[in-house]
Amino acid sequence: QIPAVIPTVEQGEELLVVSFDGSARDKRGGGACSAIVWKLPEWIVAAAESKYLPDLTVNEAEYQSLLLGFDLLSSLDQGRLIICGDSNLVIRQMRGEIECKAPGLTPLRRRALDCLRTWHEFLHVKRDWNQSADRLANTALHQQEGTVVTSEADSDDLVVLNRLQELLLPKDEGSVARMAATTRSRTRSKNSAKVLQLDVVQRIRTDRILRAQNEEKWIVNLKAYLSGDLEDLDAGEARACNKIADDYDVDDNGLLLYCPRAGRDDGERDRLVKLVVPEDLQQDVLVVAPAADDFCARILHEYHDAPRWRTSWS
């Protein structure tokens, strides 16, 4: 399982992050490995490469990817190192949490252990967070040919796909990150009320939450209702939004916020504002923070005559 403890990165800290991924066809029909070295704090591609090998299992491809990552590191100045991969087996074997008994993997693991000369940490991530390395490996497997990434355009493509920076965020040395909440109340003008964002929310970038919100029908409808744009809402949708609208606001970034109004003054309401996490992101949030139930408020509303769970984060 993905561990709850994510390596801490200091503000402005210079370090390297290696992401690796392996892919293979069935029945040892060929495999591919890929590795990317990211340079922090800029999150730029320091080195990236993929290889195609004719005779590999999936787990062997994963180990070959890790070894490829170490090869890329050999020409770089090394200090602290974080190694990220979506192979639970390889990560746990490299940590020494489980034994490595497979004849094809034992020598590969030994070679990988011999390469560890610096302060290193292994982090198992979901494949969704490892899309850059995954794309490199799958392309090599499909084309049956590896590549060395040298062009700026190809590096930019990897940067766009990269989501590891959403997990390895620098810890805030000052005040906890906050976002401004606004209200549609006629008795108040828009203010700069601050909404506390827990570490859980900090680990998923605001723009990604906004995109996900804009893909969830009930959120899109409610945002339109709150902004007074009713042209695209039918009568049933408008009635459904009207039932819950008093407990929601939209902030300056276009994010939907849950802020219960009943029985509370304006100041108290601002302190209770929560960011609405769309259903598509709820599992990712729970994976990042398995103890999230301590913070999580689940709100049940009727929408189109069917109960739906809404997940919000303080």
| pLDDT tens-digit series, residues 131-188 | 999 999 999 999 999 999 999 999 999 999 998 988 887 865 433 333 323 333 333 3
| pLDDT tens-digit series, residues 192-250 | 333 333 344 444 567 778 888 999 999 999 999 888 887 788 888 888 998 898 888 88
- SS3 assignment, position 159: helix
Overall average pLDDT of the 51-77 stretch? 94
Domain ranges of the chain: 15-166, 178-313
Overall average pLDDT of the 94-105 stretch? 92
Pick the CATH number of 15-166 from 1.10.340.30, 3.30.420.10, 1.20.140.10, 3.40.50.1820: 3.30.420.10
> Quick check: 194 and 180 in contact, CB under 8 A?
yes
Count of CB atoms within 10 A of residue 196's CB? 16
In the structure encoding, which two tokens stand for residue 136, read together?
Answer: 């490199």
pTM of the model: 0.57
Looking at per-residue confidence, does 51 or 75 come out higher? 51
Give the Cα separation of 61 and 33 in Å (integer). 6
| pLDDT tens-digit series, residues 273-314 | 677 888 777 655 544 444 333 333 333 233 333 333 344 444
Give the Cα separation of 270 and 183 in Å (integer). 9
How many DSSP H helices and E strands does the chain contain? 11, 13
Q: What is the full DSSP assignment across 10-38?
A: -TT--EEEEEEEEEE-GGG--EEEEEEEE
Q: Does the pLDDT at position 127 exceed 50?
A: yes
Q: Does the pLDDT at position 2 exceed 60?
A: no
**102 exposure class (CB count in 10 Å sphere: 0-12, 13-18, 19+):** middle
* Residues recorded for the chain: 314
In the structure encoding, which two tokens stand for residue 87, read together?
Answer: 């192979």
